[in-house]
Amino acid sequence: MVNRQSQLTEYLVIEDEEGKEQKFEVLSLFHVEETGKRYIVLSLIHENRDNHLFIYRYSEDKENMILEEIDNETEWTVVEEKVHLILKSK
């Protein structure tokens, strides 16, 4: 679970397995018709590191954004294609 910072602005802070907070830039939020689900594309903000993208399925409640890993290969293929289109258009 991830705490939203002022209505999901441009950044999310996620605690890793070791309890360390990692800051991510939100690159895109989108819905995929084929899956009926919402997704988020994040980039880890870290000096001296290549730009790594992280893509999650997400849902929200009143206070939190819940991130889920995409573990279905068919779903991943559809989402990956959509991400490529989104990033090309930016």
Give the position of tokens 């490529």: 84
Residue-range definition of the domain harbouring residue 83: 2-89
Q: How far apart are CA 13 and CA 86, in angstroms?
A: 23
pTM of the model: 0.80
Number of folded domains that form the chain: 1
Res. 10: pLDDT tops 70: yes
- Specify which residues 36 forms β-bridges with: none
Contact 76, 57 (CB under 8 A): no
pLDDT tens digits along 33-84: 999 999 999 998 876 666 788 999 999 998 888 999 999 999 999 999 999 9
Looking at per-residue pLDDT, the higher value among 48 and 3 belongs to 48
- Specify which residues 72 forms β-bridges with: none
Q: How far apart are CA 32 and CA 75, in angstroms?
A: 10
Residues 6+ apart with CB under 8 A from 3: 13, 63, 64, 65
Res. 5: pLDDT tops 60: no
